Amino acid sequence: MTEGTTSAAAEGADTLTRLEQEGEIAADYLEGLLDIADLDGDIDMDVEADRAAVSIISDAGSRDLQKLVGRDGEVLEALQELTRLAVHRETGDRSRLMLDIAGYRAQKRTELSELGAKAAAEAKSTGEPVKLKPMTPFERKVVHDAVKSAGLRSESEGEEPQRFVVVLPA
């Protein structure tokens, strides 16, 4: 093995270890939060697309966990930021950790991928740009990925929180 290969492999392992550590810190933080709120839930950890991914799931139906999702995922977004801050406090590094509760983000990802594909089809058929409603950064990223998969380009316009995706025709 060459030196470059060794260091690249070691760097990849270091990144995985760092992301696994972020997941562990986040899981501990969220378990404490669930205890305080007296909510039942299991914590699942993974590493997806170069970021730690933590999910809170419940066997007993996710009715209680819906409180942690909130309207349009607002509470989930806030909890994700608090969890990222808890990780930052422990590691000193900024975290890009993704939090999902009761499958909310997974379901939203599916819906947004479909929206992106439909907008791309519309832009292809009309030859006109398609502007979508304002979205969170997570939502815009999913739509951009779907548009790219459909073979078109998209860009974000506007200022937060009114930032939106524009799908461009070929």
pLDDT attached to residue 64 = 81
* CA-angle at 164, arms to 66 and 118, nearest 5°: 80
pLDDT of 19 reads 94
Q: Which residues contact 3 (CB under 8 A, 6 or more apart)?
A: none
pLDDT at 13: 66
Distance, CA of 2 to CA of 143 (rounded, Å): 40
Could you give the strand order of the β-sheet that contains 164-168, starting from the edge strand earlier in sequence? 130-134, 164-168, 153-157
Which amino acid, 61? G
Q: How far apart are CA 79 and CA 68, in angstroms?
A: 8
Q: What pLDDT is stored for residue 11 in this prediction?
A: 60
List C-alpha distances in Å: 126 to 103, 117, 130, 139.
35, 14, 9, 24
Per-residue pLDDT of the chain (170 residues; tens, 9 = 90+): 444 444 555 566 677 789 999 999 999 999 999 999 999 999 999 998 889 999 999 876 557 899 999 998 999 999 999 999 999 999 999 999 999 999 999 999 999 999 999 999 999 999 999 999 999 988 999 999 999 999 999 999 999 999 999 999 98
What pLDDT is attached to residue 60?
63
- Of 55, 79, 58, nearest to 69 by C-alpha is 79
**Cα Rg for the chain, rounded, in angstroms?**
19
What pLDDT is recorded for position 59? 73
